Structure 1
């Protein structure tokens, strides 16, 4: 670093000297001045290479160390924290952007995140293209959910996250307990009879489970907007997942040896990874962006390198091993949407069948609008096509040809190409 600073200082001094020479043309002929210009250009190029190598650091974004309520307040909006206890004892944390302080109740919109994410994923983009903030600007009563196991919902009335029992949950428990508890709590708190639900990825899958397991909830939904909705997982094409999926049972075995079933459950492990690997320089940020696109699908220019620190601080927030294993199970099951597979003995006890229960999506009678991406490697167009045929009350389906799985949250063009349409579908506040 010291040598680099000296080099920059020498370049600066040399630049001043050559500038003076070029301005003082009476002592040098045209050939000398041309040679000086070439030499100056070469030195400037070398100085730029050194700067890129040693000083090309990402600007620090203070919000990368904030909780979602702190981010909301930092952007000039009120924020509230609410705690919901599920019927099986998990304590979930909800983050709210309440409407402006008048006495008129506003329409409620609930946003639910995907796997290993949290409510903060809706706040990664700047306010001008953050769905949560855009909804607040339209005077909606905005609620950001966190389901069990992530950083903000890692509590239980009797269990401790250090106990394996705490982590014995799958998509099924999130859909059967968390989503109903969250919906009913919000409606009671706001005095409303219905709300609008916007989910991304697994946030859609657990909604479908909730509607199937609790049919009465369908009448409490004004509209459900599904962004890259997870259901069938038969055709996913992410290379890393396809490599690891056949070894899912072996991975589960070794994870059990650490006496917990938590996945990325250590506090701050995601932040540490992104801070060390992705958040120091633009080169690192672009590398990590390429990794994200390798998983989510191609479209690299739609994620700004400057957002990588915020992506890192709102990703890898933890879940359970069974939640991750259920992805592999649904992949091997083909075109279906099934409950967790406990093996034939466990299935007999839970489902009275040798095989896991299949969720009948025709029972989802709440009105659903689906937005999907043509470049999505996780929720592929083929899997979305299967879902569209299965839903009980599909209103419309829009496919954005070049969108990958992450563009629905962090895309640079997401407001004009997606969120404006989403907001236009909602009942007026």
Structure 2
């Protein structure tokens, strides 16, 4: 299981035990593993670097695709000897799509369930995200020497406050501001979420996500000049991730919401179009009209609306 850019695996567990997906799956006999994105509190250790060093933050989601997800798969597969049911939310879906498109992990995957799937962000309607991408917030903080992008403190926090002020929005409720108006969160869960999240990521990663919004394409990180891109990739334009290259026989489950400001309906529909040649009996698509982004991981109705369907889907691929 893998989720947001600035959220750790704990976000899956904020609801009571009978309402959160990891424990629901565990109770039904699945061996559940949760990944933590680099930079969040449980993923800040390194063999020889520490978070105070700029080199520690020299990565984007490209590295999650090339190194972190394969390392997690290799570890799990090495211990269990079994193929993996992958479950992603938001960024977790993005790195899953990118990894599977390059076919490096497909042999270890039994199926994949993608909640609030993110790959294209052209129609993102979250005000703070759209303004940040278009005004190069991440690039600005990088230039000013902040390799760690911490939304809750320092220069980054001040930038976010300034953006909220400019947009005339109340950023106290960061959940709604970033994800859209979630239908089904209770107040105590939101308070618990805001007490723990959002957490740090790399500024370079935020630049990469901003590039995805502005460029309307899914490509590797753009180093800003033809010469630098040629140095890294052997070509002037960063290579694209070809999602339609994901094997057509891989069982896939999609669930997306009608009120999601990050995984906008138009972007998800464009994403689904990349699977038009997928084996029809291997594709399962669920549309939840009143769900926004966070409802899929913290919604009080998510067990009945989404999670039971995910568990049933996984069992069918056993």
Structure 1-normalised TM-score? 0.65
CA contact (8 A) 2:138 2:203 kept: no
CA contact (8 A) 1:289 1:305 kept: no
Q: Which residue is 1:116 aligned to? A: 6
Distance 1:114 1:138 in 2: 25
Note the C-alpha offset of 1:423.
Answer: 0.6
1:321 to 179, 189, 203: 203
2:59 to 153, 169, 173: 169
Q: Which residue is 1:295 aligned to? A: 178
CA contact (8 A) 2:138 2:206 kept: no
1:350 to 217, 220, 232: 232
Q: Which residue is 1:125 aligned to? A: 15
Note the C-alpha offset of 1:294.
Answer: 3.0
CA contact (8 A) 2:212 2:218 kept: yes
Q: Which residue is 1:19 aligned to? A: none
Query: Residues 70-89 of structure 1 correspond to what in structure 2 (within 5 A)?
Result: none
Which has the higher Rg, Structure 1 or Structure 2? 1
Distance 1:341 1:162 in 2: 25
Note the C-alpha offset of 1:134.
Answer: 0.5
CA contact (8 A) 2:120 2:213 kept: yes
2:188 to 291, 306, 312: 306
Query: Residues 27-426 of structure 1 correspond to what in structure 2 (within 5 A)?
Result: 111-192=1-82, 194-213=83-102, 215-248=103-136, 251-258=138-145, 260-264=146-150, 290-300=173-183, 302-334=184-216, 336-344=217-225, 345-365=227-247, 366-391=250-275, 393=278, 395-426=283-314
Note the C-alpha offset of 1:254.
Answer: 3.5
CA contact (8 A) 2:5 2:37 kept: no
CA contact (8 A) 2:111 2:251 kept: yes
Distance 1:254 1:322 in 2: 10
Distance 1:142 1:314 in 2: 22
Q: Deviations over 1:3-45 (max 9, x none)?
A: xxxxxxxxxxxxxxxxxxxxxxxxxxxxxxxxxxxxxxxxxxx
Distance 1:174 1:370 in 2: 21
CA contact (8 A) 1:175 1:208 kept: no
Distance 2:273 2:100 in 1: 17
Question: Which residues of structure 2 form unaligned runs of 5+?
Answer: 158-169
Distance 2:269 2:144 in 1: 39
CA contact (8 A) 2:148 2:202 kept: yes
Note the C-alpha offset of 1:351.
Answer: 2.2
CA contact (8 A) 1:169 1:322 kept: yes
Structure 2-normalised TM-score? 0.86
Which one is further off, 117-126 or 309-318?
309-318
Q: Are residues 223 and 289 of structure 1, via their aligned partners in 2, closer, same or farther at CA, if it must alter by over 3 Å?
A: farther
SS in 1 for 2:244: helix
Q: Deviations over 1:112-171 (max 9, x none)?
A: 111100010110111121001111111211111113221111111122211111111111
Distance 1:166 1:265 in 2: 18
Note the C-alpha offset of 1:263.
Answer: 1.1
Question: Which residues of structure 1 form unaligned runs of 5+?
Answer: 1-110, 274-286
